[in-house]
């Protein structure tokens, strides 16, 4: 199990606390420092069953600078969104936990973190 975190994020810290309390075996990836490639983002999206715009933090300054709210949200725009997430990792929703069964969850709630643990 791997968890993508931003240490400054309270949701990330809460997820780590819960994983530790449950005795989970996991690897931390500080994705702002160890930036995911476009291929890794595509893989995580497949595991989440989501599209790139579903995991984009549209209120971030970079999102506003890029004008993401006006970008199309369709198959032909998918690669453009993924490239933006790779070039601006702060836009990626967090924390993302990859589960043992090949799926992933966005661990913003205790329930989502427990869901990842049960997989």
Active site amino acids: 9
Would you state the structure tokens that stand for residue 9, as one six-digit string? Answer: 């994020």
- Which residue in 1, 88, 86 sits closest to 45, CA to CA? 86
Provide the β-strand partners of residue 28.
Answer: 3
The SS3 call for residue 98 is strand
- 113 and 107 Cβ atoms separated by less than 8 Å: yes
Enclosing H/E stretch for 80: helix 78-87
- Which residue in 95, 85, 15, 9 sits closest to 51, CA to CA? 85
């Amino acid at each position: 199990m791997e968890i993508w975190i931003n240490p400054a994020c309270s949701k990330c810290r809460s997820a780590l606390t819960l994983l530790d309390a449950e005795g989970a075996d996991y690897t931390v990836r500080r994705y702002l420092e160890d930036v995911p490639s476009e291929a890794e983002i595509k893989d995580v999206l497949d595991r989440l069953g989501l599209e790139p715009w579903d995991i984009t933090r549209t209120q971030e300054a970079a999102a506003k600078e890029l004008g993401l709210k006006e970008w199309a949200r369709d198959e032909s725009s998918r690669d453009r969104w993924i490239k933006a997430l790779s070039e601006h990792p702060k836009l990626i929703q967090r924390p993302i936990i990859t589960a043992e069964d090949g799926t992933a969850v966005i661990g913003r709630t205790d329930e989502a973190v427990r869901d990842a643990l049960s997989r």
